[in-house]
Structure 1
């Protein structure tokens, strides 16, 4: 791989790490924010959910925009949006304002995730497995060490530090990306002085609105049921409204000539759909462990926040160690062997968690963290490599956006799974049940990996 490509990957990676870093650092800030704004845990937790919901929606929107307007412009714009949110959040006068700025931050950093993957897919032609592994070091490493970084920042400063820490990354990424990302010509279908009506049509504004109107109620309904610990008529009605809107969205997308999410085109590439389903399962497993282990250590085992952060470093360090190895392995053998090994590690880690008891040494948790850390490195590189192999260039922006949204959906589902297993209080019994549930899901993932073909296609793709 040439020197220019390496610097291109670094400039993109410095921007892409902002989304996973900010989605993970906030977890350790919840108690401090709860005290700062005098709110209960259910309300404060929306600072996490709002970030994931906004990111889930904005990822495919940004992917569509980048396919039309040019990826360099959208990437640089995302950095500016993230910078504005990071500068404003520490001075939020109330919790509602902080939530708004977190949503803005989520949109800006999502622009970097979706477009960054597309930039590497288009401009790096040699050793793409290695290229993806380098990106994964930034992303997975940032997500895994986020709790530790956040804990240290809050300990030596305050919760505002987890927003200010973004500034040097934004500045460095902007200066490097401005120089390293090749400029793209404006597509022929886009004119310089486009009317609002034409812009709405090109972007499929109606499709975006229907997608948002469907996804937001569905997620709010699910998250509200978790918070309330029971199902009410209101939850059901909100969920039904979301399903109706999703149905209208699908009907609309199949009729328009320039759809927001090209369902007919995606139907020609069923592997893309199955990669996203598998990625949801992968992240359901990973984030259940990611959010569950700190609560187990602090609530059940009475470990301090600082010690919890130290133990969680096992996850990050193993993920970082696996990523470059995965890149070389995938360049040589394709994604299937690496993904199969990742699934085996997740099954092993889940079984280990299910067999922990209240007297198990604290350090024994590191065995599960190591297994999931190595699997995270393998999955991060393998899943993206499989997506690159399955996605044609003309829809890589949308495909990358959907892929990133799958990560967020997995994170949201992990919160629901933890809530179902734990009920109202985190306990050893609930943690044991959580380990059993993870083992079952990991076995499903292992089956999906086993049936994967070397090309990245699934058996269902024979219908193509």
Structure 2
């Protein structure tokens, strides 16, 4: 008997939670675990920060391209096959990273890792939607909360885990951890995930829009290269990104099966605002994760293990806040409080320096843990209510793409502000950039009237969702 038929028909099949959560954490844990490994890797290969920054950007570039495609494939073929393929690629990337002889191979391993970790999140969102349709429960708030706790706050424990792994087995251990995780995903996915049968005519047949993929990738690569070296002499890269982007939009409107259907956005301005909010929130979060962590090691003089421990309160605070507020249906309030906490945390960073006591650094970690527990869950729930149900997998993949764009901006900003080393002055410049981004996030949240409708929809479904 399959997992779907064995499950009770009146509630969410909780056997799906284990593969959903495990698959979804692959990307955030690899996004964050590298933060404490950048300095040891740079030392091992004699590479400057401008080169090791590609270890961050390469993963996000691959994931930004892969997420929309995998999201569409999940919507078309179901989550099982894509989940298993992604898990296998993750394991291959782990092996490649363990034996990488140089920085180039290590960057290639991160690219494979980016594609491999694409499937977990859209597969989970697909399963949540399909289970909601099966059970008649409009919004499984408890499941969404559990998934958010697993995916979003795990990004913060990554540096702590990375520091411990580096202390035990060197920086290569941060790649080796993917091997057992991939094996666990393969086993759970094969045993638990349902064999989905396409439910609509034409489903299961999808033409790959290769030109659209090339144009989208060209847009991101040109934009990333510009962000990595902003200046008058590189403005042509920004112009090239605009040209690629315009050609991509033109192609999307005319292709029968576009790589990313920009018509998803037609008449759905609130969803566009949600994506913009995702970019801004991720930019601040990843600036802290990568920039502040590098400064802890290079500027404050902490070891990778010590830096990971300093960031541990961020994880604990995020988990606590998400657990306490996750089942509350109000979304706008979470976004406002989370954005305000980002602004306050960035201001506190301005007072940090090479001689700062550990207590001040812990205050920064705690304050910036509040938005970790509020913002990502609220943005995820907002998308759940705003997206077209038939395109929830693709819409979820796009949300991750926009958030990864924020991560690439953060990586570029860290490289630019630490161009001459992880100095206090560079940290403060980064903090000003973070504060301005957080302030913009707060403003667009305060003026977004569509969030009132999302709150009403969330409150309307909170009672039956609690039974899930």
Aligning the two structures, in what range does the TM-score lie when normalised by the shorter sequence? Answer: 0.7 to 0.9
Counterpart of 1:328 in 2: which secondary structure?
coil
TM-score by length of 1: 0.88
- What is the alpha-carbon distance in structure 1 between the residues aligned to residue 353 and residue 176 of structure 2? 40
Counterpart of 1:45 in 2: which secondary structure?
helix
C-alpha displacement of 1:77: 1.6
- What is the alpha-carbon distance in structure 1 between the residues aligned to residue 11 and residue 186 of structure 2? 19
- What is the alpha-carbon distance in structure 2 between the residues aligned to residue 309 and residue 112 of structure 1? 25
Match of 1:96 among 81, 104, 116: 104
How has the CA–CA distance of structure 1 residues 168 and 374 changed in structure 2, closer, same or farther, with 3 Å as cutoff? same
The equivalent of 2:147 in structure 1 is 135
The equivalent of 2:113 in structure 1 is 105
C-alpha displacement of 1:208: 1.6
- What is the alpha-carbon distance in structure 1 between the residues aligned to residue 282 and residue 102 of structure 2? 32
- What is the alpha-carbon distance in structure 1 between the residues aligned to residue 295 and residue 214 of structure 2? 40
Structure 2 unaligned regions, length at least 5: 1-7, 456-468
The equivalent of 2:433 in structure 1 is 437
Give yes or no for contact 1:277–1:406 (8 Å, CA) kept in 2. yes
The equivalent of 1:364 in structure 2 is 360
- What is the alpha-carbon distance in structure 1 between the residues aligned to residue 100 and residue 199 of structure 2? 40
The equivalent of 2:421 in structure 1 is 425
The equivalent of 1:222 in structure 2 is 227
- What is the alpha-carbon distance in structure 1 between the residues aligned to residue 287 and residue 50 of structure 2? 18
Match of 1:353 among 349, 354, 370: 349
Aligned length, in residue pairs: 441
Give yes or no for contact 2:50–2:419 (8 Å, CA) kept in 1. no
The equivalent of 2:268 in structure 1 is 269
Pairing 1:241–2:240 present: yes
- What is the alpha-carbon distance in structure 2 between the residues aligned to residue 119 and residue 443 of structure 1? 35
Q: What aligned pairs does 1:118-197 form with structure 2 within 5 A after superposition?
A: 118-124=126-132, 125=137, 127-186=139-198, 188-190=200-202
C-alpha displacement of 1:428: 2.0
Give yes or no for contact 1:140–1:320 (8 Å, CA) kept in 2. no
Structure 1 unaligned regions, length at least 5: 458-464
TM-score by length of 2: 0.87
- What is the alpha-carbon distance in structure 2 between the residues aligned to residue 188 and residue 428 of structure 1? 58
- What is the alpha-carbon distance in structure 2 between the residues aligned to residue 339 and residue 88 of structure 1? 39
Match of 2:62 among 34, 54, 64: 54
Give yes or no for contact 1:83–1:170 (8 Å, CA) kept in 2. yes
Write the deviation string for residues 157-180 of structure 1: whole angstroms up to 9, x where unpaired: 122221221233222233223333
The equivalent of 2:284 in structure 1 is 285
Pairing 1:455–2:456 present: no
Pairing 1:389–2:374 present: no
How has the CA–CA distance of structure 1 residues 87 and 299 changed in structure 2, closer, same or farther, with 3 Å as cutoff? closer
